[in-house]
Amino acid sequence: MPRGVTSVTSPRRLRALERQRRALELRRSGATLEDIARTLGYRQRAGAYKAIASGLQRTLREPAEALRNLEMERLDRLQVALWPRAVQGDVKAVDAILRIMERRARLLGLDMPQRREVASPGGEPFTFALKIHDTDAEDAEGIVGAL
């Protein structure tokens, strides 16, 4: 293992993860950063803040990755089931596969940002890139129109 890298199962790493868990638990119960730092032995409130931020990031990232993987597996199974009909020329199956592919691209962030140009309040063109994730292009147009 490279120098400075700690195994995820090392005693030091496990103690750090436990402190993060306890910091999150204390914060949820209403403890201040100062209280958490004092209780868990951090020198400053910044240490408690970092532990909470790291713990939150980890608890949010893991379920999101698991859900994304599940959705990818579902999309793959649907595409595999429809593929024979699509290559035989079934137009409905082709359309369904294209929608599956579009959904996969959005889920993985594969689509390039779309460039839009709108007029600023002074009338000058204002160009920006819009990356569409969970909204479709029509919704994005409505958002842009509201600007």
Higher-pLDDT residue of 1 and 124 is 124
- Is the residue at 4 inside a domain? no
The DSSP secondary-structure symbol of 111 reads: S
- Is the residue at 5 inside a domain? no
Domain count, the chain: 2
> Does 73 share its domain with 135?
no
- Is the residue at 120 inside a domain? yes
- For 75-98, write each residue's pLDDT tens digit: 999 999 999 999 999 999 999 999
pLDDT of 136 reads 46
Highest mean pLDDT among 1-10, 27-36, 81-90, 123-132: 81-90
pLDDT of 144 reads 41
> Does 57 share its domain with 71?
yes
Full-model pTM:
0.44
Asked whether the predicted pLDDT for residue 16 surpasses 90, the reply is no
* Mean pLDDT over the full length of the chain: 80
Asked whether the predicted pLDDT for residue 1 surpasses 50, the reply is no
Q: For residue 120, how far is the Cα from the chain centroid?
A: 31
- Is the residue at 134 inside a domain? yes
> Does 54 share its domain with 40?
yes
- Is the residue at 41 inside a domain? yes
User: CA of 10: how far to CAs of 4, 5, 22, in Å?
Assistant: 13, 10, 18
Please give the residue range of the domain that contains residue 130: 114-146
> Does 120 share its domain with 49?
no
pLDDT of 134 reads 45
> Does 98 share its domain with 118?
no
- Is the residue at 6 inside a domain? no
Sequence-distant (6+) residues with CB within 8 A of 41 are none
- Amino acid identity of residue 60, one-letter, is L
pLDDT band at 114 (very low <50, low <70, confident <90, very high): low
